[in-house]
Amino acid sequence: MEEKILQLILSEIKDLKVNQEKVYREVTDIKEGQQRLEGRMDKLEEGQQRLESRMDKIEGRMDKIEGRMDKLEEGQQRLEGRMDKLESKIETEITDKIRALYDFREVQADINNRIITTLDRIEAKVDVLQMETAQIRRVK
């Protein structure tokens, strides 16, 4: 009977060893899987860091672009202000020049009318003198 018990114990010990080996293999597989997962996590973290770095660069570029856009807008506003002043100045000068031309035209029209009137009088006098000269010639 002792022999049966010993064989049973021995059988149990063998089963325990087999099961222990299975557990050991499973633990080893789990460790390997965990190492693979850790490797993948490391790669993910590196990728995340690269993405963050690229995002930082993009944000830096966007800040530069925004700064340049602000400068462009300021320049545009300055140009608009200068254009408004120039437009106002041109309108004022043109209006003044048109008035001056109109006034000059009126003055010139008056001068022309006086010249025409004077020419008409001179023409009338010449006509009278021609008639008198013709009469004097006939008399002679």
- Tens of pLDDT, residue by residue over 79-104, are 999 999 999 999 999 999 999 999 99
Q: What is the pLDDT of residues 23-38, one digit of tens each?
A: 999 999 999 999 999 9
Predicted local confidence at residue 138, as pLDDT: 87
Predicted local confidence at residue 108, as pLDDT: 97
Predicted local confidence at residue 137, as pLDDT: 86
- pLDDT beneath 50: ranges in the chain: none
* Domain range annotation of the chain: 1-101
Predicted local confidence at residue 6, as pLDDT: 87
Predicted local confidence at residue 1, as pLDDT: 80
Q: Is the whole model's pTM more than 0.85, yes or no?
A: no
Predicted local confidence at residue 3, as pLDDT: 87
3 state SS for the chain:
CHHHHHHHHHHHHHHHHHHHHHHHHHHHHHHHHHHHHHHHHHHHHHHHHHHHHHHHHHHHHHHHHHHHHHHHHHHHHHHHHHHHHHHHHHHHHHHHHHHHHHHHHHHHHHHHHHHHHHHHHHHHHHHHHHHHHHHHHHHC
